[in-house]
Amino acid sequence: MIEIKAPSISDAAAISGLLHALGYPGTESFMERRILQLLSHPDEALFVAADNGKVVGVISLHFMAQLALPGDFCRISYLCVSEDVRGQGIGALLESHAVKFAQQRGCDRIEVHCHARRTDAHRFYNRQAYVESPKYFFKSLVDL
């Protein structure tokens, strides 16, 4: 039975493992601090999917007010499901939970930025009725 819930500090290692599989190694040293930060921030939400207590998926959400539109929007920052259980609907369950949560917060849209190399993820988001928006720009502040 899959349960969607807020994570606890004891889930830090499992979440770090999921992020490592997503291509973000080295999060172990700060994961506990990040979990506490995200859970206490009013414009962030963090959920895990647990299968009999074992964390098998994670989704991180960020909420932003829109200046020109009446509703806020929700951004999926990270969504990852363990390779061991992919294809079992856990990603769809996490995404559905995120949509409901965003609607309860008054959001009128949800978005996700997904790198071009993540073709499997693109198929997943297409199945969840996301529409591609082709331009996205960013500027690294680390290199300035």
**Percent of the chain beyond pLDDT 90?**
66
Q: How far is CA 132 from CA 40, 75, 83, 115, in A?
A: 31, 14, 25, 12
Residue 15: both structure tokens together: 């979440």
User: pLDDT at position 114, please?
Assistant: 67
| 66 has a pLDDT exceeding 70 | yes
Write the pLDDT tens digit of every residue in 15-36. Answer: 999 999 988 999 999 999 999 9
The neighbour count for residue 136, using CB atoms within 10 Å, is: 9
Average of per-residue pLDDT values in the chain: 90
User: pLDDT at position 9, please?
Assistant: 97
Write the pLDDT tens digit of every residue in 94-134. Answer: 999 999 999 999 999 898 876 667 777 777 677 887 677 77
Cβ-based burial of 144 (10 A; exposed 0-12, middle 13-18, buried ≥19): exposed
| 88 has a pLDDT exceeding 90 | yes
Q: Which residue has the higher pLDDT, 116 or 2?
A: 2
- Is the backbone of residue 23 left (phi > 0), alpha (psi -120 to 50) or beta? left
